[in-house]
Structure 1
């Protein structure tokens, strides 16, 4: 009889506990809002740049621009030794003067013979000879003028001028140096804007498209922030460094930026995985692994297996097991069992 009574009392205990709601902390599962911050160092470059070179070979006699100089369109940057070109120009000018005198004389002769022919004072053959002499003199003048144009161009080619407004970013020749035709003498940054170029590890670009906005600052002015917008991502990976060149345009750069200057860039990468955030006290362990107590619409609990993505300070992030909006026992799970009713401790206050 005593054994039967004890058995009845033991089987009735869970039912009594199930009927009596246990006060616990209940939290609502929420999506985790996380992002990872990356910071890299890049370089400021001209959006458009060109190399300035002489079209002819020669010895440099004057270098008139230095690195960092701002030059205007047409400004003289350097000169070559032009002794031969000046002599050739003078000879060509003399040739034109002689040819012009020959044309004037031939024109006068032709006019005179034309008048004589009209009065039948000379034969047509003599008149035609005068006309042929005039045409030959005119051809010689045209050739002399063409030679003068070539001589003028050759002389102009010994002077290197800025093709348009620009900033000298590199000087590649010195006085007395012999340069070949088309050999760069200056590197010029055109006044069409500035961009920042970063060598980004390939792994940072495999999660999706690069972010549209990047926060930038000069290493010398860390408090002055400005925006960079991704303009171009190189399709090639540097085989030596494993990086990809990413170019940013600068919509509104601050004053004082210099070509070749180092800048720091920071970008926030949002989490691509859908994670659920819970307090670490919600986690319990079963023979099958990690689990949490979820609260149903009838305020009873169920042990639900979950997958923990990672642990953070005072919270854990779940990658599987429950959905956003699920009610979970956050604290006070020590006395729980499946089916037990619970009540939020905050509702009792």
Structure 2
């Protein structure tokens, strides 16, 4: 029965799910790097960048052990996903019952084919296999910052079993303290006379097309609005970028966000979004429609950092007289926004954010 089932085609199109064999090890190794990168992005203090969980020799040993079954998803002759599993059972334990568990040690789908439901097919296969083997339940662990994985597992029907908690202690070794990386920090700018304002505005103009830029007078005036946050981003004492957002009653709206070009691909964007997501309110931002390679990569960046696309047909109000506005896609975290929040967002945009977009108000700067 088991061998017959392993030969069946999975539910994700042409994908076949089967037991892993030694010939799969090189492709499994590539996927192990992908998973580890997610973990090192979420917790760089715990996971070394550029590493992987298992060596090829360790994977071969795992494949040879009946207590650690590994399944792969194969598509077009290529391994595009895997599930590492471990049988667990506390026999004759003084405090635990004798139930048999299948623990999912690792589950991965190649980033190139995500969205094809291969992860769901792998998970269903693992659940069926566990039931066939007489297991009581299937369990796994998810790191708190891995929001996409958490959302996926909740979607396929997993529920929270227990919480892992920690407190990170201050360094007590003076040598360790000097080596510890300083956390990214923000400085709010509230006056156009601030010495950093010219440099900040140079980056602002460099980072966005004209139709997404405020008129200079409008940008200077809104610095005084208590709901507006013009934040300079620093790594220690080094200026790295800008985070410009509004705080409404029930959400944050990120109007502009940029990192210095020479510092991109150094995870500053990810670190900023991590800090932003710590806020208890929903975070809303906009991106260009994903219609070319750059806009598709940008959408993927926000998705990897916990943001969801929303289905609303949305046109941003114009920043300049004579313009008609520009079509954008709304993204939000930690989850999509409902129609009530969307309506509130549109009102806030019209009545607060864009009320002086053309810089024609008579208010004093």
Say whether the fold is shared (TM-score over 0.5).
no
Q: Which has the higher strand share?
A: 1
Higher relative contact order (Cα pairs below 8 Å, separated by 6+ residues): 1
TM-score band, normalised by shorter chain: under 0.3
Q: Could you state the TM-score of these two structures normalised by the residue count of structure 2?
A: 0.18
Q: What TM-score comes out, normalization by structure 1 length?
A: 0.18
